[in-house]
């Protein structure tokens, strides 16, 4: 019996990564075909317009997840007097089989405060503020490399081609607000 196809899963980050990879791979695999006819003759842009319509439809699908509550694993990167920096990206060690297939896809989860979007929607770190998103007592028990569950609300999902909207290398940023650290998953 064949396994069901991966889906966006608010309770399973690994399945969400597999889902993102499959969706991004479709765009990588079909971009060249869509552009080929246009490169020969600019009037033959039907496949390219269809491709761009599929990209827009995928963005609409992503926007339907906005407002959902997620509970995903995150790796502790650093503990400071202000909070605990955590990270979720495709190179997580929860499932080593995920690493190699994700060439061409950069997927990041950012845990942010409501007002922390800059004009481009980018952030360099995900810090869980002490006594707001993580208790001081819990933070004291952690060390870099520990894995914790973080729960929050999806605020934004950004999908784009990395280089001039070329989809051979794609970027998927998932922004989570109102984040709260849950339990320790592994030390």
Cα–Cα dist 184/48, whole Å: 47
Asked if the model's pLDDT at residue 30 lies above 60, the reply is yes
76 or 169, greater pLDDT: 76
pTM of the entire predicted model: 0.80
Paired with 86 in beta bridges are 76, 126
Which pair of tokens denotes residue 81? 């007097």
131 or 98, greater pLDDT: 131
Segment 83-104 shows an average pLDDT of: 58
């Amino acid at each position: 019996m064949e396994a069901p196809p991966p889906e966006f899963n608010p309770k399973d980050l690994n399945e969400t990564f597999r889902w993102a990879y499959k969706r991004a791979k479709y765009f990588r695999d079909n971009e060249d075909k869509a552009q080929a006819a246009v490169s020969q003759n600019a009037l033959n842009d039907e496949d390219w317009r269809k491709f761009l319509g599929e990209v827009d439809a995928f963005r609409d699908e992503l926007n339907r997840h906005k407002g959902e509550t997620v509970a995903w694993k995150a790796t502790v990167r650093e503990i400071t007097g202000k909070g605990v920096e955590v990270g979720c990206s495709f190179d997580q060690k929860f499932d080593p089989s995920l690493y190699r297939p994700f060439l061409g896809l950069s997927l990041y989860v950012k845990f942010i405060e409501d007002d922390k979007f800059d004009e481009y929607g980018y952030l360099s770190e995900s810090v869980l503020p002490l006594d707001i998103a993580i208790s001081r007592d819990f933070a004291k028990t952690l060390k870099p490399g520990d894995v914790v569950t973080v729960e929050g609300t999806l605020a934004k999902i950004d999908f784009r081609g990395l280089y001039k909207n070329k989809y051979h290398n794609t970027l998927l940023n998932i922004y989570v607000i109102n984040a709260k650290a849950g339990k320790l998953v592994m030390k």
